Amino acid sequence: MKDFIKNVFANIVAILLIGIVLFGFIVLFFVASAMSSDQKPYVDSNSVLTLNFNGNVIDSYTEKEESIFDFGKSKDVLLLDVINAINNAKKDEKIKGISIEVDNLPAGITQVDDIRAAIEDFKKSGKFVYAYGNNMSQKSYYLASVADKVYLNPVGMIELKGMSTEVTFLKDFAAKYGIGVDVIRHGKFKAAVEPFIRNDISPENKEQLSTLLNDIWGNISTKIKASRKLDDATFKTAVDSLYGFMPELVVKNKLADQLLQKSEYENLIKKQLKLKSDEKINRISVNKYIKSLDEEKSSDNKIAVLYAAGEIFNGDEYQNIHSEKYVEYIKDLAEDDDIKAVVLRVNSPGGSGNASDEILFELQQLKLKKPLVVSFGDYAASGGYYISMAADKIYSSPNTLTGSIGVFGMIMNFKDLANRNGIRSDIVSTNANSQVYSPLSGAAPGTIPILTRSVESTYKRFVYFVTQNRKKSFEQIDAIGGGRVWSGTRAKQLGLVDELGSLQQAINYAATKAKLKDYSLDSYPRKSSPLEEFFKQTEEDEIAARVISKKVGKENYELFQKITNPKLNNGVQMALPYKITIK
């Protein structure tokens, strides 16, 4: 018996020792990763800044998706860092030009707009900007077209095709498999629920989608035509006829300047740099160049950029926009005397009405103490637009999807599906609507009427805050509300935003509003440390979510979550009905 106890005790000690050793190795691993990532790259003279974007261009660290062992290796890059790098390269004597080499650009369309504008400004230095592609996506070509010269592989292509969107309808699918859907919405344009109640796009939704796509495509195509010096007819024919898919037609129609192999393109750059054919080009990637730059000196006068990226939920999680977390951030910014102004960068299609209202209230309190300027990214719709109503001034990109001033609620049940498979339920209650909702029996008789009142009440509250911020009447906002989504260009014409401009322009205005000449920038939420990320990602639910997401695909998993997770699908929602992806 004594030997048994000794063996058990020895095994416990061994397990503890192994755990301590493993923990030590993990700590050392992250410390080493952090140290290696802090090493400052050296920039050689006669260098070329290469824009190849092997990782995602993101607004905020909350958008990062890393493996627990990726620290120091992530190639994701912040938009402001990219803009700062290009601006710095303009005056950096070691940087002689920029080479754009990206076939599939992992960035939002408004981010591409900002990068493109920075390159336009860079060209004023007289330094060269070249672009090379193999099989370029439309978004990549939009960026590449800003170059002095665009070169394409002899068997390459440019996916220049215009814009379209496809809506998937699930009404018959739901009926076939016994899934019941109760829908409450305000606004004939609030199309988030259409896939569950129709089999085609409604005339109202078709109208808003057509206007939206034409606005965005008009902005993009105008800039491409100006950069490539193309007339309207030639460009329209090239797009309609898919000439970008045929290399010889690409050059003939002036979409690119020449067909070259990559080594021939390298020789052109060498010629610009006055190098011999056997000499090597000093290339530096945008990620490395960012790391080479001196950190901005901290100042007692700071402008905080608070990034609101993702969908809006209740709770206190780090990723997306969770109300408890953001209330904390906003209160901290309001109480920090070094923070003289705040720029809220919104890139959100909306979400929970309750969470949006919490965040808006705290932003209104913050604005009483210091200037609050809002900058729109790809999306600032529904809840994303709602939380912006505390702003002193709103800047939007021309291609932002914004507005969607509308509210909806949706309740799904699986009663018929359950009954068909021999599953039934019965209810015992103390009051008429005690069982407000059940997945097996649906909504109680009083649930839909009261939710309808709730949706109407929330819509009126939404419009009220818009009228206060935009200085318009209820009737004026209701006429352009109803859930309708607008481009940033159209939103400016309608008075839903103040200016068309970039994040940097919003920061500049915030500095002016706060009467600051010298200041430093602080970003919120702050980046998590490697150890924080490690322990956050080792939680059981997080691991399970990642495994399932990889198996079924991110978009399918998000749809599954919205349908099955009560946290995500209950309550009144302020959410954009769709996402438009420009590839």
94 within 8 A of 44, measured Cβ to Cβ? yes
* Catalytic (active-site) positions: 190, 382
What is the token pair recorded at 454? 């709730």
Q: In the 3-class helix/strand/coil scheme, how is 108-176 assigned residue by residue?
A: CHHHHHHHHHHHHHHHHHCCEEEEEEEEECHHHHHHHCCCCEEEEEEEEEECCCCCCCCCCCCHHHHHH
List the beta bridge partners of residue 58. Answer: 78
Q: How far apart are CA 145 and CA 159, in angstroms?
A: 13
What six digits make up the tokens of 242? 């898919």
Closest of 484, 334, 309 to residue 387, by C-alpha: 309
| CA distance linking residue 59 with residue 306, whole number of Å | 10
Q: Which of 454, 451, 475, 450 is nearest to 464 (CA)?
A: 475
First to last CA, the chain: 70
Instruction: Name residue, tokens 């003939």.
Output: 252
**Distance (Å, rounded) from C-alpha 192 to C-alpha 208?**
13
Lookup: tokens for 261: 């192999």
Nearest to 191 by CA among 349, 415, 389, 321: 349
**Do 185 and 408 form a contact (C-beta atoms < 8 A)?**
yes
Q: How many CB atoms lie within 10 A of CB 526?
A: 9
Q: Cα–Cα distance between 403 and 229 in angstroms, integer?
A: 34
What are the start-end ranges of the H helices in 198-261?
A: 203-228, 232-240, 247-252
Query: Omega before 525 cis (within 30°)?
Result: yes
Q: Which of 407, 350, 353, 401 lies closest to 188 in space, CA to CA?
A: 407
Distance CA 542, CA 229 (A): 50
CB 138 within 8 Å of CB 160 = yes
Say which amino acid occupies 579: K
Q: Are the beta carbons of 191 and 181 closer than 8 angstroms?
A: no
Torsion angle of C-alpha atoms 57, 58, 61, 64, degrees rounded to 10 = -70
CA 163 to CA 137: how far, in whole Å?
Answer: 12
Query: What's the rounded Cα separation, in Å, for the pair 195 and 55?
Result: 33
Q: Which two tokens stand for residue 463?
A: 């419009």
- Nearest partner of 63 among 320, 244, 287, 290, judged by Cα: 320
CA–CA dist 53, 33 (Å, integer):
21
